[in-house]
């Protein structure tokens, strides 16, 4: 149990560090002259994004949803981008929603348990994820049968 607490603390520290770096490079990308993103900034941001996605893919608690829903690196990157496009570019109780949403099994399974084809369904998902973190929820959002 002590090992799990230590692992959780280490994960939280890593998430905060990577999120800060990601936001810093994202802001640099947006503020580049005439909207042109220099390749060095873009490369660094992509490397940080890769680290975030690898953290999600290697998280032991995420393995059930990853396996059940065939979640890949490409799908996770697309999810972060889509959540940002849907307006989730906010912090809720210390969580940058697009990143934290892929790092916890409860939110990861909620994102992937069904395909959302229309904008309204995607916007509802985004609002639900924001609320999940704002309300400091910890339990499942949906019940998934992993057997």
Span 44-57, average pLDDT: 94
Looking at every residue in the chain, the average pLDDT score rounds to 89
* Helix residue spans in 32-118 (DSSP H): 39-58, 63-68, 73-85, 97-103, 105-112
User: What mean pLDDT do residues 39-66 have?
Assistant: 90
Helix, strand, or coil (residue 92): strand
- Mean pLDDT within 120-134: 96
Reading the block at residue 36, the tokens are 């042109």
Stretch 47-58: mean pLDDT, rounded?
Answer: 96
Amino acid 57: pLDDT: 98
pLDDT of residue 9: 72
Q: Cα separation of 132 and 146, whole Å? A: 22
pLDDT (0 to 100) of residue 38: 62
What pLDDT, in 10s, does the model give residues 67-122? Answer: 999 999 999 999 999 999 999 999 999 999 999 999 999 999 999 999 999 999 99
Q: Is the pLDDT of residue 12 over 60?
A: yes
41, pLDDT greater than 60? yes
Mean predicted confidence (pLDDT) in 133-145 = 94
Task: Provide the pLDDT for residue 37.
Answer: 55
Closest by CA to 125, choosing from 146, 137, 108, 139, is 108
Could you state, in order of their start, the residue ranges of all structural domains in the chain?
2-134
Kindly state the greatest CA–CA separation across the chain: 53
What's the pLDDT score for residue 66? 98
> Could you write out the three-class secondary structure of 11-38?
HHHHHHHHHHHHHHHHHHHHHCHHHCCC
């Amino acid at each position: 149990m002590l090992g799990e607490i230590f692992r959780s603390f280490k994960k939280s520290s890593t998430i905060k560090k990577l999120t800060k770096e990601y936001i810093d490079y994202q802001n640099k990308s947006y503020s580049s002259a005439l909207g042109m993103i220099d390749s060095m900034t873009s490369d660094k941001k992509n490397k940080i994004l890769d680290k975030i996605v690898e953290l999600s893919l290697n998280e032991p608690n995420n393995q059930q949803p990853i396996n059940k829903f065939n979640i890949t690196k490409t799908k996770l990157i697309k999810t972060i981008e889509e959540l940002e496009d849907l307006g989730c570019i906010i912090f809720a109780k210390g969580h940058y929603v697009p990143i934290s949403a892929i790092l916890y099994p409860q939110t990861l399974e909620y994102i992937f348990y069904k395909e959302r084809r229309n904008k309204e369904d995607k916007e509802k998902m985004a609002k639900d994820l924001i609320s999940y973190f704002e309300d400091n929820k910890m339990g499942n959002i949906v019940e998934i049968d992993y057997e």
